[in-house]
Structure 1
């Protein structure tokens, strides 16, 4: 048994599973393990998960990862973690969850978010330059919804925290909140005094700060050490340094080495997220930020994001290609590889079929929780392969749409570094480059999210001085995809129609969403 180490253990609470990974200090993976859990959708635009299932999934994944790595638990020198954000967890005074967690993608708090438009708080700057609608998935709106619709649960909640901060407590017994999640989705801004109490009051959460942990820690700060009971449950030794974690996309950004000004990360998965680092703040319509100190102290982060990207492809696979998926899995193939092969010859523009991927609302550039998906241009000549291909194009178009908004405000990347599920398809990544016109770099470890958590763990354990040093030693770029000029020009026609279609349908979509909501 290898014992010398040191090794790092990263925990990733994604939308579909809890993953545990073990890396060495050079960024080489030893083992991965994942355990799924269920998402429940009790009403349209709602999404919930059970924190007790999260905890059991972590225990299972940790034991399997350690066994697969073939190392002694004593060789683990640091731990950190990420989770979806902002996933609201309501905890009582004893540290027990009160109700199912309200997931990051949940958009039930539209009425509470709408109140933000009446506020003149400086906090509004982080969203579309203060001009657009606020995202219903953000922390204060979900908390206000809970206060108004489940008052008993709200009163019982001694702590309202993001999923990453729930895990902080489970591992260490410490109540903290991380600057990353709360800068991105909690309107926390250290440069403007921290929490915007006036903004919280304006949206119906005037007592929210009574339920928020006082300690706001930077990414990589040592929170404490692994407590005895969780150490026993996870098969680890007590006393391992635990570093303050962050949201999953932010961990992916770090795992791609995007920690210096001018860099841009493209994190793909159930959603797509664009993160860029800057030396000074900018604000504008169609993107979120700037966020002060969100990743690296002294820097600012801008964000573009799609709520439902990979999740729409999964929706198609599960509901319209279940026969393909079943047959592929029986012979050990990835269903998406089969679907990619079947749609490989579909031309640019999918023979006139254009899809809008806003199945679960839109983050940027519209920040519209009532947005829904659109398919148009269908003909009797179209096949399921066309629909699948058009969804892939839609996701690339959505990425380009957010990049255009950032570029208009003064931040135009010359390169993106990508990770996540989409990078498993080189053709789809090439499509992203062709549509956006931006080169896309790929790194040695495609699963940058868990690598990022291990980099954070290394900093928290004192093995590297900061994230920049960790990136220099643990992130290794291996390839770059250059955009094809001719294909970029051809995609321009369809991108323009994609961008014009949603604003034309937006009012009608809202009317239908409101009509359906009135039934519940």
Structure 2
């Protein structure tokens, strides 16, 4: 039996999935790696930890699948983005990588946005907010606050690029990660030299990978050293992948206009397909050719979703009892008896991008229980998703239905609240690790098993069930949405007043 491998390099672990060409998962395994938080808003990981974890997970997945290694045709990766690695001449990491959720570059992001907006309309390399998570703000922070590290960095690239370099010996970028986080645009010349020049970052173009490949293109084959580390033959093809959430669109089977992929995990992303370029205030994109040729992707997102739920469960001592907590929360009414949460625990992403915003729990009373907090947190994430969908619709982007993949699919309560708040049918594929199967579909296309991604999706993705919204609960949530949406401006004004008072003193 021929098979392909999809690798999902996530925030907390790396997961390896082995698939048959009909989409059947033959075996999978995961291996964790640590994240370090040296200061508030900072988040770092070690690239050597990614590589060690990949070896552990690959061997375990091969054992679970019980297949001969020479049956593997190709592999591809979906990884966090924008997670920056700074490398020396030998491709070794000079320092810990800056994880995607690292927001130390909040002030630099504002300068990048201002510089971009000052460019001519046709050269803006996308409209919309600029996040502290992205490539240029992080690099600008490095150049100003760690100039020696910046100078010594021969290469500045992504998690994806570093892994592909270790696997094949080739340093290449991905059109996907470059388009969504580097201000790269295939329709207006690729590398944004004018924006780099405006930021005094002309030399960054020389530090980036000089070659950029589209998802699904073959990079090469495993080096003997990489093959030995993974327990695979050296002839296995390595196919270009991209950012985990966007490759998750492929795994969700979301590839036509009107469809939205809801990628759930530590964060939430709402990714919509558009036939044309759309620049929507408060959202990101659109990204030309970022996933599918000749199609654009519009992006919304929430920085804290699964990570916020996990934090809350740990805080109340219920992290080992999530099923029971879900069951208790399910008995509560929509709106959690007046309790509401703002889900900006790691800043606001969209439609209100504000890295300095913070979460809040409002409406607490002595009658509220742990289950109320848990349900209110889930409702906050779901109402945040509605804010993104409403922004898409308000600017003419059709939203017909959603398909969800990732961690939230393990909670029937979370699925139902997503359907009820949005008023949309919510599709759940049979394989819910979207980045894993999405990367496997890319691998299969690179191996020549399918002529294009549309054909790969048709062969490997199946919808297992659809969650229909409850009309009555949807109306209740429609009424609650205004309260949720008012939290950010109210708390932002309060925070601004406190800062002003502190400066006056």
TM range (shorter): over 0.9
CA contact (8 A) 1:83 1:246 kept: yes
Equivalent in 238, 241, 245 of residue 245 of structure 1: 241
In 1, the alpha carbon distance for the partners of 2:466 and 2:210 equals 43
Q: Provide closer, same or farther for how the CA distance between residues 439 and 469 of structure 1 changes in structure 2, counting only shifts above 3 A.
A: same
Q: Secondary structure at the match of 1:343?
A: helix
Residues 378-434 of structure 1, C-alpha deviation per residue, up to 9 Å, x if partnerless?
A: 112112211111000000001000111111111131111111110111221110011
Q: Secondary structure at the match of 2:215?
A: coil
Number of the residue aligned with 1:411: 397
Q: Secondary structure at the match of 1:282?
A: coil
CA RMSD of aligned residues (A): 1.6
Number of the residue aligned with 2:367: 381
In 2, the alpha carbon distance for the partners of 1:500 and 1:214 equals 45
Number of the residue aligned with 1:67: 63
CA contact (8 A) 2:261 2:404 kept: yes
Number of the residue aligned with 1:135: 131
Residues 211-232 of structure 1, C-alpha deviation per residue, up to 9 Å, x if partnerless?
A: 0111111110001111110100
Residues 184-211 of structure 1, C-alpha deviation per residue, up to 9 Å, x if partnerless?
A: 1111111111121222233442321110
Equivalent in 297, 301, 316 of residue 305 of structure 1: 301
Residues 39-65 of structure 1, C-alpha deviation per residue, up to 9 Å, x if partnerless?
A: 111111111111111110000000110
Give yes or no for the alignment of 1:425 onto 2:408.
no
Q: Provide closer, same or farther for how the CA distance between residues 117 and 12 of structure 1 changes in structure 2, counting only shifts above 3 A.
A: closer
CA contact (8 A) 1:371 1:510 kept: no
Give yes or no for the alignment of 1:29 onto 2:43.
no
Give yes or no for the alignment of 1:88 onto 2:75.
no
Number of the residue aligned with 2:484: 498
CA contact (8 A) 1:126 1:290 kept: yes
CA contact (8 A) 1:252 1:452 kept: yes
Q: How do residues 118-133 of structure 1 correspond to structure 2 at under 5 angstroms? A: 118-119=114-115, 120-121=118-119, 122=121, 124=124, 126-128=126-128, 132=129
Number of the residue aligned with 1:192: 188
Number of the residue aligned with 2:284: 288
CA contact (8 A) 1:112 1:204 kept: no
Residues 442-479 of structure 1, C-alpha deviation per residue, up to 9 Å, x if partnerless?
A: 11112222111100100111111111010010001121
Q: Provide closer, same or farther for how the CA distance between residues 51 and 515 of structure 1 changes in structure 2, counting only shifts above 3 A.
A: farther
Q: Secondary structure at the match of 1:161?
A: strand
CA contact (8 A) 1:372 1:509 kept: no
In 2, the alpha carbon distance for the partners of 1:359 and 1:376 equals 14
Q: Provide closer, same or farther for how the CA distance between residues 230 and 513 of structure 1 changes in structure 2, counting only shifts above 3 A.
A: farther
In 2, the alpha carbon distance for the partners of 1:489 and 1:376 equals 22
CA contact (8 A) 1:370 1:509 kept: no
CA contact (8 A) 2:258 2:401 kept: no
Q: Provide closer, same or farther for how the CA distance between residues 60 and 514 of structure 1 changes in structure 2, counting only shifts above 3 A.
A: farther
CA contact (8 A) 1:86 1:104 kept: yes
Deviation at 1:251, TM superposition (A): 1.6
Give yes or no for the alignment of 1:208 onto 2:194.
no
In 2, the alpha carbon distance for the partners of 1:204 and 1:103 equals 24
Q: Provide closer, same or farther for how the CA distance between residues 377 and 210 of structure 1 changes in structure 2, counting only shifts above 3 A.
A: same
Give yes or no for the alignment of 1:395 onto 2:395.
no
In 1, the alpha carbon distance for the partners of 2:186 and 2:208 equals 16
CA contact (8 A) 1:277 1:302 kept: yes
Q: Provide closer, same or farther for how the CA distance between residues 470 and 235 of structure 1 changes in structure 2, counting only shifts above 3 A.
A: same
Q: How many residues align?
A: 498
Equivalent in 168, 171, 177 of residue 175 of structure 1: 171
Residues 247-304 of structure 1, C-alpha deviation per residue, up to 9 Å, x if partnerless?
A: 1101211001112233211111101111111111111212111100000111111011
Deviation at 1:342, TM superposition (A): 2.1
Q: Secondary structure at the match of 2:330?
A: coil
Q: Secondary structure at the match of 1:245?
A: strand
